[in-house]
Amino acid sequence: MRVPRAFLALLCGGAICWAQNAPSSTINPAAGANQAEISQRDSPATFSSRVNLVQVPVVVRDKQGHPVGNLTKDDFLLYDKGKPQLISKFVVEKAGTPYIPAVRATDENAPADASETPTAPIPERFIAYLFDDLHLKVDDLLRMRQALWTHIAESQDAVTRVSIVTSSGIGVLDFTDDLDKIQQTLNAIHPNTRMPLSGNNCPSISLYMADLIINKNDPTALALTAADAKACDNNPNSTVDYQSLARSAAISVLSIGEGDTARVLEAIEAMEKRMSAMPGSRNIVVISPGFLVPGDDLRPAEAEILDRAIRANVVINTLDARGVYTVIPGGDASTRVVNTTSVSQRTNYTLQEQLADQDILEELATGTGGSFFENDNGFKEGLSQLTKQPEFIYLLGFTPADLKYDGSFHGLKVTLRSPTGLTLSARRGYYAPKRPTDPEEAAREDIREAVFSRDEVRDIPVDLRIQFFKSSPSNARLTVVSRVDVTPLHFKKEQDRSKNTLTVVAGLFDRNGNFVNGIQRIVDMNLRDQTLEALGKSGISLRENFDVTPGIYTIRIVVRDAEGQMMAARNGAVQIP
């Protein structure tokens, strides 16, 4: 199920601005018509936020490869373009337990002494398996289809939802726990490569060689390809300019290869956007033989993928579908050999190509706190390893000093003060923005991230009560009442008034974690002393109603105040028979 058009239209720039299901109204007009003490409005609230915060996920492992989780901020050193940075944010993310606390809904028609309505487990893990069908060979793809199906069939549980996607966009399955649909989708995936097979073209040229010739002006690569072109011609009296012919072939291959690489990156980015609206842990597993990112034009797109993944708490894991491979001098049986000279140089280029193809897989994984499974034929075990969340992820954040808005690349380096016996993986860099970050937009994004999460936050005490009423076998009304305790809030004093603003968001999700509907309310408080004292005892209650059909749902309530920037986040579970 896709996010509704109304939600997408209001998501502009990362800000959540859900349509109201009730008009703005005055809750407590105690101060008179001209200055209500508590009122609602539907305009987005503005919060101050740390601008240009760069987040760097880091995984630290011991000699046995086990994640280490007992380090502190002082154990890390972080450098931006070689300059030491002050780590202003430090969070240790620990793999969660398979149970998310949630308030259970009650049936309004049930007797007062009836037991609580049972509910199914809340989905909390979302894993997207991305098949790179633009680069996978037939044999590799068949092996990976079988390995993935075996892995899913053995490991699928009640709180995990799976999506199947492809680089080509052909054959996709949205998040589900339906094993039959998953198997059908896997069986329908086939290679969709556009690159000419090595045995069909002469001269046969790889994307790696084309990149060397066109983008890197490698004279040896050009000479070897020209020699192949001459051998293909097999005409000693020919006056053809074979170097020009080699360049022409390289341009053609480069065009196709760049397009395929761009499509893979676009598929990953699209899945990141999709997963940013999934309420729980998010994992993308890229299954690919590796691919080259030629030239420099696509590097900013790769950096944006890393940035987006970190902002959306998406971990990218990668698996080299080639398994254990070797480089055969002169190529394998599928390679058409027309020129037997310089075999050593050709083999060296092939080896470099194999290594270059896997670079992008390693970069995507290490740059998002994920893992890269390579040089191993235990694919089922590899998939199990990749989908097992690291027990500990350190999230380091810093605000670059004197940052120039020029879009330039900033290399990052993270080290440990005492690295003995420990290794770490972290993102390698980021691109500077081309314009200043809008604090208002950044703050709305903070709220959005809280809505599409499962973590409970209790900075502000919020009591949650959920009831449903079935008006017919196919229709029900879901009522959510949130009582916000204002006691811990900070208020700004202006004359005889205490001012603050609450943003209260209610999000409704279906059994597969898809967003169904949402309501956002802005509560402006302009309180007299006696009103503030009274509210300290009673709190502020808000009621939201959703019209739904029978089924399983999750409710997410997020509250944030403007003055103290405190937050609350609660979960609710609903099962309407």
- Give the span between the Cα atoms of 378 and 118, in whole angstroms: 40
- Give the span between the Cα atoms of 140 and 119, in whole angstroms: 41
Q: At 16, list the tokens.
A: 């959540």
> What is the homologous superfamily of the domain 125-198+207-387 according to CATH?
von Willebrand factor, type A domain (3.40.50.410)
Are the CB atoms for 119 and 552 separated by under 8 Å?
Answer: yes
pTM of the complete model:
0.74
Q: At 242, list the tokens.
A: 């074979």
Q: At 483, list the tokens.
A: 């009582």
Give DSSP secondary structure letters for 351-404.
Answer: HHHHHHHHHHHHHHHHTTT--EE-S-S-HHHHHHHHHSPPSEEEEEEE--TT--
- Contact partners, residue 110, CB within 8 Å, separation at least 6: 117
pLDDT at position 42: 52
Are the CB atoms for 368 and 57 separated by under 8 Å?
Answer: yes
pLDDT at position 29: 40
Alpha helices in 5-137 (DSSP H): 5-10
Q: SS3 sequence, 208-273?
A: HHHHHHHCCCCHHHHHHHHHHHHHHHCCCCCCCCHHHHHHHHHHHHHHHHHHHHHHHHHHHHHHHH
Are the CB atoms for 165 and 129 separated by under 8 Å?
Answer: yes
CATH number of the 5-49+439-576 domain: 2.60.40.150
What residue segments make up the domains of the chain, in order of their start? Answer: 5-49+439-576, 54-95+390-431, 125-198+207-387
Domains 5-49+439-576 and 125-198+207-387 share a fold: no
pLDDT at position 293: 94
In this structure, the chain runs to a length of 577
pLDDT at position 329: 56
**pLDDT, block means (10 residues), the chain with 577 residues:** 39 34 39 62 41 80 89 96 93 66 81 60 90 96 97 92 96 94 96 73 86 94 89 78 92 94 96 87 95 91 88 89 74 52 79 92 89 93 88 88 82 92 85 69 74 84 94 94 94 92 92 90 93 92 93 93 89 91
